[in-house]
Structure formats: C-alpha cells, structure tokens
C-alpha cells in the first residue's frame, strides 16, 4: 500500500480527542509470567518474549528467541549455538506437563526457535515456556495458547481479534494490549504490515515520529530485517499479545517494501538498493524466523486452518505472485494475463471454497477486494485518499494496489462463488488504514439491483497514518465529507471510518458473523483507552452486511 507523507496547507495538527462510547474501556493485560533464573553477565536471556500461532486441533506452533550473550543482538550473526528446552502444560503452574522437548538456537536462524507441537487435545487452553542455560536455569516468560476445535466437531462459536498495519514510528501498540486483556478469543488474526521497512523519519516525517525504530536506515538486507523484527518484539504490548493468544498472520507489502509485487516494489530502486530477489529473500527469511507462522512448501503464507464444522479460514499471500501494479489509463487492470494471486493460489482458493463443508468460509486477504469508485470526491481530499488507497493524485477511480487493479482475478473468484452457489463467504481485510463494512457485489455498477456474492469487513490500522493523520487535522474534520462521497459512489459500502485506529473482534456462530469495531483514544499515548464504536454482521445465507447496535458480549 502506498504510504507516503502528503504535505498540506491545512491547519496545524491537533491531538486526537478521547473517543467516548458506551462500551466499557478494556483494561491492560499483565505480562503472563515473569522470566525466572538469574542471568549471568554473559549468559542466555529471553528478551523478545514468547509466541504461539497457527492452531490445529491437535497442535500449536511455539516460538521464542534466545539471546545467548549480550552482544548477540538480532541481525548481528554473533552468539554460540544454544540448547533451548520447551514445555507445554495444562496449567500455568506447569504441574501437569503434557509435552516437552528441546531444539538448538543458532546464528543461522538469528537464534530464533520454533517447536511444532502435536498430540494435544482439541479446543483446549495450554501454557508453555522455554528455558536455557545450565540445567534450564534461565526461563522465558510463560505463554498461554489454545488449540482449534476438532475438524468435524460441532462448534457453537469462534472468536478472533483482527488487526493490521502497525507502524512503530507512528505510535504505540495499545490495540494489542486491549486484545491481550480479553480472555474470550480463540486467536488473533494479523492481516499484514506487522512491520514497516522505511528509514526513520520517512513515514511519518521526522517531526511526527512518536518513537524511532531500529535500524534507523531503510531495511534492505537480511540483517536489517532481522533487526527490525527484533526491535518490534521488544514492545511490551506486542509481547503481551503474543504471550496471551495464538496469532495467525499473513504478510502484506511492508514486510518487504511498499507496493511489493513478484518482481519489485515501489519502494525499491535496483540500481542503488541491490537486486529485488535478494531483498525479498532476506525479508521472507527474517519473517519466518521471527513469526509464529508455518511456511508452506513454496515458502509462502497462503494456507488453510479449520475451526470445527463452523469455519474454514483461507489465508492468502497477495505479494509473492502478483503482477506489477498497473499504471492508470492504459486498461491493463482488466488484462486476464495479470494476476494478484497467481494461478496456483487462485485455483487452491476456489477449490477450498467449493469443497468446504464448514458453515462459514472466511478469507484473510491483505488488500480490499470490494471495488471502490470515487465519483465526486472533493479535489482537496483526493491527494490524501490517494496515499491511503494507492490511487493517482488525479483521482481516477482505480485502486491499483488492491483487487481493483486486478479485475480479472476478482471477476473469476466472484463468478465462482455465484456459479457454485457458495454462501457465507466473508473477506477479512487490512492494509488501507480505515475501517469498512462492505457487500461484495457481483456487478458494482448495478448494485443493489444485482446480487452480492460475499461480504467484507476491513479493520483500520493499529497506528499507521490515516486521513486525519495525513492532513494533520482533528478527527471528523474532513472525513465526514469524504466518507459520504465514497458511500454515494459505492452503494455496496455500508460504512467507512477514515480516522480511527484500533482493532476488530470477529464473532462467528452458525447464525451470523459479526465484526465489532473498537477504537483507541490516542495512538501517541502508551496508556490509550479503547472503546467500541460500531458493529456489523452478515446473517447466514444473506451475503449482505447490516448494522448492529451493540457488540457481542
């Protein structure tokens, strides 16, 4: 997604006002267990927390990073091989250990380790931890995780936190803290832009930076990407989230570089920044080292997870295989030879959707699939909206970095849903730093006279700049007009919030899928509060979203 600072002659920035809502404010979650065992001056330590991810009915993926000596910082290549032991228990006191083992943290993997534990019970909460040093004297913090329901089990409900777009320099990660405080989540779905690649002071510009990231330079090499991932995982709220819930993650462009595609990126200059293939390979290696994600055999993140008979979760990789983004006006957005998914992935998705016997087919897509036209959006709003949506500043109605830039793939997928009578498909989306609730029309030009094939819930950013941040104005100063213009030109768009930061909570039952949208009071404050703002749902069999007047309790 294009994420450049846009200068403006509008008024000076004002601090975000506290968001007030009837919902109770979430409380901060404590860190789940403290590290034990003294660390010798040159001994091992667990400085980057613990994590779990990709829950299966009988298994979970565990992750940590050990720092064998003080100089063995992420990306340094320093530090000896270190034995790391892991254990998983039914209780937080670790009196009932059900599985344990060991692995070796090596410099070749930046001293990160994973344990893909199997043989666990379905739909069960477990506790896990790691240890290192003589006799396992140094222990990591404890983490809590949960397995998925059995594949064919009757499952009354499943609930996910949903987040995307966390730019370190733009603010604090309080949405992670508020999700960690909830005890009712089966997992947290991260839809991409977990890290950002920019040099310090590039996005946002230096005078708006809340906290500087490391390294300060734009990340280009394997060592750079490792350092940036390691720096992110020093954040206390991020550590708490990972220690509390399993995380299911996909990547978007900023895990690589802005507007990445299979052969390059908008924010990559081969002549001065090396070969794109080398940069992308380093970014992928660091991602799989530092994230609790199972890589597919193709070295990508598209994969499928199942939650009983209730939901199949199809997770997409929309960067590795895509064609280069189109320029506007040449008609290539409709070229059937261009792709956002790649042939193999699109066939895999279509087959998975058609063959699913789950009540709901959830699709994690890092960029928005709903079409967006801009009609008579005022000229002074086109430039900031262009920065968020990847549009040209002239305002032509094509969002080339999202599915709008690859219309043949979208048409094929929507036609497949319609022709195979596949119902209850819900796209879950991040990327554009705004919250949306959309029907996905078969033909946007004639909607609502024509049918809707699916629905889409888009979550806003954790911290990354949205409309009021780009213009440096108070929330709602200009977004009310912009949102009204977008909805007028796109009747399938039921709601859009262009200003807030926060997260979503998706609650799925046999009767409906409901997204509750939460906003944080001020992304520049460590202790920001969170409050419910809107809820939308799609009822089983309807393929349409409707507003709900309260969140799921």
Omega before 204 within 30 of 0, i.e. cis: yes
pLDDT confidence of residue 378 = 56
**Residue 309 burial (CB count, 10 A):** 18
Of 33-42, 108-117, 154-163, 401-410, the poorest mean pLDDT is in: 33-42
Contact 222, 285 (CB under 8 A): yes
CA–CA distance, 111 with 66 (Å, rounded to integer): 6
Check residue 468 and give its pLDDT.
86
Beta bridge partners of 452: 441
CA 388/CA 255 separation, integer angstroms:
17
Measured distance between the N- and C-terminal CA atoms of the chain, rounded to whole angstroms: 34
Instruction: Answer whether 162's CB lies under 8 Å from 223's CB.
Output: no
Cβ atoms of 292 and 117 closer than 8 Å: no
pLDDT digits (tens, 9 = 90+) for 199-257: 999 999 999 999 999 999 999 999 999 999 999 999 999 999 999 999 999 999 999 99
- For residue 387, the model assigns a pLDDT of 65
* Max Cα-Cα span within the chain: 71
Residue the block writes with tokens 């949208």: 517
pTM of the model: 0.91
Burial 355-390, CB ≥16 within 10 A → b, else e: ebebbbbbbbbbbbbbbbbbeebeeebbbbbbbbbb
312 forms bridges with which residues in the sheet?
A: 306, 361
| 99 Cα distance to chain centroid | 30
Q: What average pLDDT score do residues 6-10 get?
A: 30
Q: Give 24's DSSP letter.
A: P
Residue 227 CB contacts under 8 Å (≥ 6 apart), including other chains: 73, 74, 75, 214, 215, 219
Question: Do 323 and 339 touch, CB atoms closer than 8 A?
Answer: yes
Residue 2 binned pLDDT confidence (cut-offs 50, 70, 90):
very low
* Tokens of residue 128, six digits: 């896990």
Query: Binning pLDDT at 50, 70 and 90, where does residue 413 land?
Result: very high
Look at 38-42, 156-160, 280-284 and tell me which has the smallest mean pLDDT.
Answer: 38-42
The pLDDT score that the predictor gives to residue 29 is: 36
What are the residue ranges of helices labelled H in 114-245? Answer: 174-180, 222-232, 236-244
Tokens of 247: 């995380």
151 close to 308: Cβ distance less than 8 angstroms: yes
Give burial (CB, 10 Å; 0-12/13-18/19+) of 489. Answer: middle
Is the pLDDT at 514 greater than 60? The verdict is yes
Q: What is the pLDDT of residue 76?
A: 98
d(CA 177, CA 521): 13
Coil vs helix vs strand at 363: strand
Residue 6 pLDDT greater than 60, yes or no? no
Instruction: Count CB neighbours of 419 within 10 A.
Output: 10
Residue 160 buriedness (CB in 10 A; 0-12 / 13-18 / 19+)? buried
Identify the residue with better confidence: 394 or 175: 175
- Taking residues 66-89, report their average pLDDT: 97
| Domains defined for the chain, CATH in brackets | 158-548 (3.60.21.70)
CA-angle at 261, arms to 257 and 264, nearest 5°? 65
**How many angstroms separate the CA atoms of 315 and 250, rounded?**
7
Overall size of the chain counted in residues: 553
């Amino acid at each position: 997604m294009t994420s450049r600072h846009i200068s403006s002659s509008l008024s000076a920035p004002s601090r975000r006002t506290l968001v007030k809502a009837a919902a109770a404010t979430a409380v901060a979650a404590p860190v789940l267990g403290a590290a034990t065992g003294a660390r010798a001056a040159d001994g091992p330590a667990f400085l980057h927390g613990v994590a779990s991810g990709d829950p299966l009915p009988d298994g979970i993926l565990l992750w940590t990073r050990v720092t064998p000596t003080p100089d063995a910082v992420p990306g340094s290549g320093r530090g000896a091989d270190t034995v790391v032991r892991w254990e998983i228990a039914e209780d937080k006191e670790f009196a009932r250990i059900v599985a344990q083992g060991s692995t070796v943290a090596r410099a070749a993997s930046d001293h990160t380790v994973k344990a893909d534990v199997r043989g666990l019970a379905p739909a069960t909460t477990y506790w896990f931890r790691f240890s290192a040093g003589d006799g396992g004297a140094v222990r990591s913090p404890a983490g809590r995780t949960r397995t998925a329901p059995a594949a064919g089990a009757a499952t009354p409900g499943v609930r996910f936190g949903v987040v995307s777009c966390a730019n370190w320099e733009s603010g604090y990660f309080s949405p992670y803290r508020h999700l960690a405080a909830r005890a009712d989540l089966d997992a947290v779905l991260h839809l991409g832009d977990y890290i950002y690649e920019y040099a310090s002071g590039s996005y946002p510009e230096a005078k708006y930076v809340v906290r500087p990231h490391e390294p300060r330079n734009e990340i280009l090499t394997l060592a750079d990407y490792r350092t940036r991932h390691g720096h992110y995982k020093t954040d206390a709220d991020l550590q708490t989230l990972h220690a509390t819930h399993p995380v299911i993650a996909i990547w978007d462009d900023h895990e690589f570089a802005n507007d990445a595609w299979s052969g390059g990126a908008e924010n990559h200059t081969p002549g001065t920044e090396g070969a794109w293939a080398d940069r992308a390979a380093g970014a992928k290696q660091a991602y799989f080292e530092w994230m609790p994600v199972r890589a597919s055999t193709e070295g990508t993140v598209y994969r499928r997870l199942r939650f009983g008979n209730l939901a199949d979760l199809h997770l997409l990789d929309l960067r590795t295989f895509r064609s280069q983004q189109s320029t506007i006006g040449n008609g290539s957005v409709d070229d059937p030879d261009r792709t956002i998914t790649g042939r193999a992935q699109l066939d895999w998705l279509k087959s998975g959707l058609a063959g699913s016997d789950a009540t709901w087919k959830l699709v994690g897509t890092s960029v928005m699939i709903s079409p967006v036209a801009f009609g008579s959006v005022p000229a002074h709003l086109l430039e900031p909206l262009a920065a968020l949506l990847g549009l040209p500043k002239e305002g032509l109605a094509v969002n080339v970095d999202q599915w709008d830039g690859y219309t043949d793939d979208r048409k094929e997928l929507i036609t497949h849903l319609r022709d195979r009578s596949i119902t209850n498909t819900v796209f879950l989306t991040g990327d554009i730093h705004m919250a949306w609730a959309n029907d996905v029309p078969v033909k946007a030009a004639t909607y609502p006279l024509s049918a809707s094939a699916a629905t889409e819930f888009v979550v806003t950013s954790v911290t990354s700049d949205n409309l009021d941040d780009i213009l440096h104005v108070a929330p709602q100063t200009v977004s009310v007009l912009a949102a009204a213009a977008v909805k007028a030109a796109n009747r399938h768009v039921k709601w859009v919030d262009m200003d807030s930061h926060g997260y979503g909570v998706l609650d799925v039952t046999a009767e409906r899928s409901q997204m509750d949208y939460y906003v944080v009071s001020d992304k520049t404050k460590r202790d920001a509060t969170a409050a419910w703002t809107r809820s939308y749902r799609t009822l089983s069999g309807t393929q349409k979203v409707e507003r709900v007047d309260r969140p799921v309790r």
